[in-house]
Chain A
């Protein structure tokens, strides 16, 4: 498709490159497809699962993948690995995504405010950020979960309280750059209210970096849940989640390596899907 543009003529509205870019954004398409499949699997878990994920059957424990009736074998308590994997997706995707949403929102808003207004407000917010960052991530999360009591609710709260700082710093840095751009100046010059400049003009321009970070943050959060599970502060058993499956499987690593490996692969695929989405988003939206 060749369009010869004459400035001022009718032909120069839509540059052909954007359409081509949209059509051939392989990364985004593959990433979204992969992630979509994972979500679909999570939603359809009750339909797809061949067994009850918490039904124990000690007579058929630790069967190898491919055993009759058990596609991916059974674990040390005779629970069907395939079914647990599907139900695990439900728990992990839900907790992972939800535990990223609130720090994303809180951090983004505080970062916008700190970057735009500057002054004492900026100093205050950034000092709080410094304090939170001064502690190692897990020390703080574990302390908070411990204080609040194990369970998914506590995980959300703890990860929110610790996780927002990353978004805050990313967004603040972007705002510092964007607010010196002429479009921000132009918005102020046209007398629009501050909240509108912040959320309609600045936010869409600065949020991309935060969205990209959130993709890897979901993976990190899932890993954090795995780690918490390992310490007995995660999703309480027998609810299946990939973290506890890995933990349970690792003691049989020499004999039944697949017990820990299969949920591990699931975590890797999720991470890959999200990373592809993040890269695809950069390609699609980053005009710089």
Chain B
């Protein structure tokens, strides 16, 4: 059976007045029904742009220049725009980061949830209302009948994000794209909202693509992770594989930068340097300038995503991936902060 969604070698470019920004440079990912995958990366690594490209909602003037999006085994990339957009929006829904701006401020939340069932799925007014109340109940909004009439600003952040999830569900999608859905929430509410998303995945066999810069959020909910850096996926694999032994120095450093609550923290670890300027991508590995393990070969070719030997589904774009188990031991010999344990 073909996976729910497959993305192959997606490229997105943004023509700017004086330059050309290569926002996404060859991203491939797969989501199965009932599976939740995580996309991590820092700001500007191309994770949100990738999501928007999937829905065909790129901001002008960004455009997909290469790659294919395969939905249920059907390549939608070559289809006429109208048809493609319809297929994509029928199959996927999106949950946004800031629920306050993602909801229409002058429309009652219930009406916003009932809108797609009423307008697109052709339900009667009464049926759409009932459906909206049912959805609100499903995402854990207490007293849905009463909250139906509330405006977005009258709800708390957690409730608003639940409304957003209910709206996403109202289109009866098979895949939910969530762009940092919990970043604007505090930690307890964050856990509740993640729980809602995960419950829906289990109960309805939904595919979930969760984008976040928070490793904790991703590892809590997702079975597979894609780590993005400078518009590329530089490592992918199961949570277990990545947490036990990351095979790319970026992921490796990222995981070390998460403070361990059991250890006294003297200093938070950081990765020195800046991500590269995507208008002029240098030859070689894009992480090389910040990497503690660089060797001359790293600056010559950008290594492709390569399968890690003996680890199925684990892939890394580092030419030294086989030496990962020794990276920590190398720390004393001249490797700076990033791999040094506190």
Which A residue's beta carbon lies closest to that of B60?
A118
Give the bracket for the number of chain A residues in contact with chain B: 20 to 34
Distance, CA A190 to CA B85, complexed state (A): 10
Name the one of A182, A191, A205, A285 contacting B98, with C-beta atoms under 8 angstroms.
A182
Please indicate the chain A residues that have their CB under 8 angstroms from the CB of B189 in the complex: 7-8
State whether the Cβ of A51 lies closer than 8 Å to any Cβ in chain B: no
Q: A180-B59, A204-B107 are in contact. Are A5 and B102 (CB under 8 A)?
A: no
Q: Which residues in chain A, 1-45, are within 8 Å of chain B measured between CB atoms?
A: 5, 7-10, 12-15, 18
One digit per residue, 1 when the CB lies within 8 angstroms of any chain A CB and 0 when it does not, for chain B 235-270 equals 000000000000000000000000000000000000
Interface with A: B89-97, B276-284, B294-302, which one? Answer: B89-97
Q: Mark A159-196, 1 if CB is under 8 A from B, else 0.
A: 00000000000000000000011110111111111001
A186–B14 Cα gap in the complex (Å)? Answer: 22
B102 in complex: contacting residue of A18, A183, A196, CB < 8 Å:
A183
B168 cross-chain contacts in A, Cβ below 8 A: 190
Query: Which B115-160 residues have C-beta < 8 A from chain A?
Result: 115-116, 119-120, 140, 142-143, 146-147, 150, 153-159
A189 touches which of B57, B103, B105, B119 (Cβ 8 Å)? B57
Q: Is the CB of A205 within 8 A of B104?
A: yes
Contacts of A285 in B (CB 8 A): 106
A12 touches B159 (CB 8 A): yes
A287 interface hit (Cβ, 8 Å) = yes
Residue of B whose beta carbon sits closest to that of A18: B154
Nearest-neighbour CB distance to chain B for A51, whole angstroms, equals: 48
Assess whether B156 is in contact with A185, with CB atoms less than 8 Å apart. Answer: no
Q: Is B30 an interface residue (CB 8 A)?
A: no
A60 on interface, CB distance cutoff 8 Å: no
CB distance from A167 to the nearest CB of B (A): 19
Are A181 and B101 closer than 8 Å at their CB atoms? Answer: yes
Taking a contact as CB atoms closer than 8 A, the residue among A12, A190, A193 that contacts B167 in the complex is A190
Query: Which of A13, A189, A191, A200 makes the CB contact (< 8 A) with B146?
Result: A13
Nearest CB to that of B111 among chain A residues?
A200
Beta-carbon contact of A186 and B96 below 8 Å: yes
- A182 and B93 contacting across the interface, CB-CB below 8 Å: no
Which of B101, B104, B156 is close to A7, meaning CB atoms less than 8 Å apart?
B156
Q: B86 within 8 Å of A by Cβ? A: yes
Q: Which of A10, A189, A193 has the largest count of B CB atoms less than 10 A from its CB?
A: A189
Q: Give CA–CA (A200, B143) in the complex, Å.
A: 26
Question: Across the interface, do A287 and B120 meet the contact criterion of CB distance under 8 Å?
Answer: no
Contact with A182, one of B102, B116, B156 (Cβ below 8 angstroms): B102
Count A-B contacts at CB 8 Å: 100
Contact across chains for B96 and A182 when beta carbons are under 8 A apart: yes
CB distance from A210 to the nearest CB of B (A): 14
Q: A12-B155, A204-B106 are in contact. Are A190 and B143 (CB under 8 A)?
A: no
Q: Assuming the A-B contacts A183-B102, A186-B94, A204-B106, are A192 and B119 also in contact, with contact meaning beta carbons closer than 8 angstroms in the complex?
A: yes
Instruction: From A8, A182, A205, give the contact of B158 (CB < 8 A).
Output: A8
Asked whether B55 is an interface residue with its Cβ less than 8 Å from the other chain, the reply is yes
Q: Is the CB of A191 within 8 A of B86?
A: yes
Contact between chains at B116 and A189 (CB < 8 Å): no
Does B28 belong to the interface (CB within 8 Å)?
no
Question: A151–B193 Cα gap in the complex (Å)?
Answer: 64
Whether B102 contacts A8 by the Cβ 8 Å rule is no
**A15 touching B154 by the CB < 8 A rule?**
yes
With A and B bound together, what is the CA distance between A18 and B147 in angstroms?
15
Please tell me if the beta carbons of B55 and A7 are within 8 angstroms of each other in the complex: no
B192 within 8 A of A: yes
Report how far A190 CA is from B192 CA in the complex, Å.
Answer: 24
**A285–B120 CA distance with the chains assembled, in angstroms:** 29
B94/A205 in contact, CB under 8 A: no
Given A183-B103, A205-B105, A7:B94 Cβ within 8 A? no
B34 to chain A, nearest CB (A): 22
Provide the residues of chain B in CB contact with A18, threshold 8 Å: 153-154
Quick check: A191 and B85 within 8 Å, CB to CB? yes
Nearest chain B CB to A185's CB is how many angstroms away? 6
Contact B150 A14 (CB under 8 A): yes
Is B106 a contact partner of A13 (Cβ separation < 8 A)?
no
Q: Are A287 and B116 neighbours in the complex by a CB distance under 8 Å?
A: no
**Assembly CA distance A118 to B52 (angstroms):** 20
When distances are taken between beta carbons in the complex, the residues of chain A under 8 Å from B59 are 180
Residue of B nearest to A192 (CB): B119
Find out whether the CB atom of A189 lies under 8 angstroms from the CB atom of B94: yes
CA distance A18 to B116 in the complex (A): 28
Q: Do the beta carbons of B55 and A189 come within 8 Å of each other?
A: yes
Question: Quick check: B106 and A205 within 8 Å, CB to CB?
Answer: yes
Tell me whether A15 and B153 are in contact (CB under 8 A): yes
> Which residues between 164 and 194 of chain B lie within 8 Å of chain A, taking CB atoms?
164, 167-168, 170-171, 189, 192
CB distance from B174 to the nearest CB of A (A): 14
Q: A188-B57, A205-B106, A287-B153 are in contact. Are A8 and B116 (CB under 8 A)?
A: no
Instruction: Chain A residues near B142: list those with CB within 8 A.
Output: 8-10
- Residues of chain B lying within 8 A (CB to CB) of residue A9: 142
Shortest Cβ distance from residue B308 to the other chain A in the assembled complex, whole angstroms? 35
Q: Please tell me if the beta carbons of A190 and B154 are within 8 angstroms of each other in the complex.
A: no
CA–CA, A14 to B170, complex, Å?
A: 24
Known contacts A183-B102, A204-B106: does B89 contact A190 (CB below 8 Å)? yes
Known: A7-B159, A183-B104. 7 other contacts (CB 8 A): A185-B102, A186-B96, A186-B167, A188-B89, A191-B86, A192-B119, A287-B105
6 tightest CB-CB pairs across the interface, nearest first?
A: A191-B89, A182-B102, A7-B156, A204-B106, A189-B94, A182-B101
- Please give the residue numbers on chain A whose beta carbons come within 8 Å of chain B beta carbons, in ascending order: 5, 7-10, 12-15, 18, 118, 180-183, 185-193, 196, 200-201, 204-205, 285, 287
Could you give 15 example pairs across A and B, Cβ below 8 Å?
A10-B142, A12-B155, A15-B154, A118-B60, A181-B101, A185-B52, A186-B102, A186-B164, A188-B89, A190-B171, A192-B115, A192-B119, A200-B107, A201-B107, A205-B105
